[in-house]
Amino acid sequence: MPVPHTRKAPSKAALAGNKKPRLGNTERSKPVRKGTPPPKLRSKPKSELHAVSFAAKAEDPATTRRRDTKGKAKATSAQLGAAEDSTTTTLPSTFKVIAGSYEKLLYGLEGSVSVEGTSYKFSLKPLFIFPAHISYLKAVAASPNGGKWLATGSTDEIIKVWDLRRRKEIGGLMHHEGSITHLEFPSRSHLLSASEDGSLCLFHARDWTVLRTLKGHKGRVNSVAVHPSGKVALSVGKDRTLRMWDLMRGKGSASTKLGKEGELVRWSTDGSLFVVQTQSTMDIYSTDMSLLHTINHPSRLHDVKFCRRVDGEGELLLAAAENKKLTIYDVPADKAKMPTPVAYMVGHTNRVKAVDTLKIALPVIPGTSRSWTTVASTISSDGRVRLYDLSVVPLEVSSELPEFSPIVEYDSKGSRLTCIALADGDTAPAATIGKRKREKADEETGADEDDEQDEWNPSNQREDEEASEDETSELEGEQEAEEENVEEEDVEEV
């Protein structure tokens, strides 16, 4: 009996015409069978939510093997956690300040530190100023630990990716169908975004494919925060819920009703606390979702952020507000004690819109042992970027809170600044890593892309996608079983 001839499904390289991967909406939707209801996100009751451990959430090896054999996205803790970031262990000697504005402009400043006598002198020098989007910018994020990526989000519903080293645009990610509200790099190789369309997306920085699409919020997502372990994330939105996401499995794991719309959520640096900000209120929770403290700030809040103390033990909570000040709260090691203000950072003539911090190396001054500090950069509607040294924050609370002026500032000449991010610059030459390790790290984060890569063309991207989809649809009826196996080897789309 003659053997029936079957035609093999072409490879992905053949479908794409052996072209380089381009940025854009590279996610392919699987055909949805009629009558199949969409997957629903199950929420656990509060009693189960209490049992969830954020910091020590271990993964079953057997589960990992089963998931890998199915070919699902390997967004493991090794990729999202500190293991990858350990390739860069030195502090940067210079840094970059990136700020967006209502006028669609993106500002890039280079910060540096020099020694003058027995003191340090900080400086900010403009690197670039240009219109980055067709609408105003709402979010900006830079890849940590020496990463080269910069991502910007706007009300034009596009996430643009930039190469800070080459200072050029790489392309646009058009996966969302609403304004971009928040961007965060959990590691050098992953980007997490939130949007008004109610979804969160996890992108891989190597080829900018969508690893996970997380849906569960009924309405706009206001903010998202990834735990320092890289395994879970928290988000708040217009639906007045707080949701927890399992980034290792790409699904929601719990949710709880807040009773009010959370505007921001932030983890502490050690992952033992998180804060939810609503208007002038900051609610501090432990990892078992117990409300520890409610702080009523005297003014409307716009941004909050945890950071470690420069001198002494413990953490600080920075609060940027309408009263033109950056208030520094001391967070005691004893979680039962209420955080209290210890200092003010002043200088702005209008509301303080956002704040970001970065740990940097300091040049050596003979006779001193100080080798590093943490800088905080703020932006305001007055159009100025200001830089503060957090080493001046006192260790103890006094009756009269001290006020500290900025160590350096930059005037954007009237731009209404909206978002800010600090990025690593150059590292100290004495602490560079080996060439082989650097090449391996760059390979993991996609840094070895062709330097001659042309800028992304959206029309070519659409033509390539349509051609690939047409060729694939011709084989869909004949090779349905084989195509399902091929798709399972690619990134799973939630």
For the domain that residue 102 is a member of, what is the CATH number?
2.130.10.10
According to the model, what pLDDT value does residue 442 have?
Answer: 52
Whether 444 is in a domain gets the answer no
Whether 2 is in a domain gets the answer no
Whether 164 is in a domain gets the answer yes
- d(Cα 472, Cα 98) in Å, to the nearest integer? 42
According to the model, what pLDDT value does residue 110 have?
Answer: 95
- d(Cα 270, Cα 315) in Å, to the nearest integer? 9
Whether 460 is in a domain gets the answer no
Contact 180, 194 (CB under 8 A): yes
Query: Residue 149: is its pLDDT beyond 60?
Result: yes
Give the mean pLDDT of the chain.
77
Tell me what the mean pLDDT of segment 192-215 comes to. Answer: 93
According to the model, what pLDDT value does residue 63 have?
Answer: 36
Q: pLDDT tens digits, residue range 390-445?
A: 999 998 888 889 999 999 999 999 899 999 999 998 765 543 444 455 545 554 44
Q: pLDDT tens digits, residue range 206-264?
A: 999 999 899 999 999 999 999 999 999 999 999 999 999 999 888 888 899 999 999 99
Whether 193 is in a domain gets the answer yes
The better pLDDT of the pair 69, 338 is held by 338
Query: Residue 454: is its pLDDT beyond 90?
Result: no
According to the model, what pLDDT value does residue 366 have?
Answer: 85
- d(Cα 477, Cα 4) in Å, to the nearest integer? 17
Q: pLDDT tens digits, residue range 285-342?
A: 999 889 999 999 999 999 999 999 998 888 999 999 999 999 999 999 888 899 999 9
- d(Cα 143, Cα 146) in Å, to the nearest integer? 7
Query: Residue 64: is its pLDDT beyond 70?
Result: no
Tell me what the mean pLDDT of segment 169-188 comes to. Answer: 93
What residues have CB less than 8 Å from 155, skipping those under 6 apart? 135, 136, 138, 179, 180
What total of structural domains would you count in the chain?
Answer: 1
Query: Residue 82: is its pLDDT beyond 60?
Result: no
Query: Residue 71: is its pLDDT beyond 50?
Result: no
Query: Residue 196: is its pLDDT beyond 90?
Result: yes
Burial of 425 (0-12, 13-18, 19+ CB in 10 A): middle
Instruction: Give, as one character, the DSSP assignment of residue 40.
Output: -
Q: pLDDT tens digits, residue range 462-491?
A: 444 444 444 444 434 444 444 444 344 443
Whether 387 is in a domain gets the answer yes
According to the model, what pLDDT value does residue 474 have?
Answer: 42
High-pLDDT (> 70) share of the chain, %: 68
Question: CA geometry: angle at 438 spanning 436 and 441, to 5°?
Answer: 110
Whether 42 is in a domain gets the answer no
Q: What is the extent of the structural domain holding 91?
A: 83-426
CA distances from 465 to 18, 70, 449, 472 (A): 13, 25, 21, 10
Q: pLDDT tens digits, residue range 86-115?
A: 333 588 889 999 999 999 999 999 999 999
Whether 174 is in a domain gets the answer yes
Encoding tokens for residue 62?
Answer: 């057997």
Q: pLDDT tens digits, residue range 10-61?
A: 444 444 444 443 443 444 444 444 444 444 444 443 333 333 333 334 333 3
Residues 201-222 as b or e (16 or more Cβ within 10 Å = b): bbbbbbebbbbbbbbbbeebbb
What residues have CB less than 8 Å from 342, skipping those under 6 apart? 316, 328, 329, 330, 393, 394, 396, 397, 398, 401
According to the model, what pLDDT value does residue 427 have?
Answer: 67
- Number of other CB atoms surrounding residue 4 within 10 Å: 5
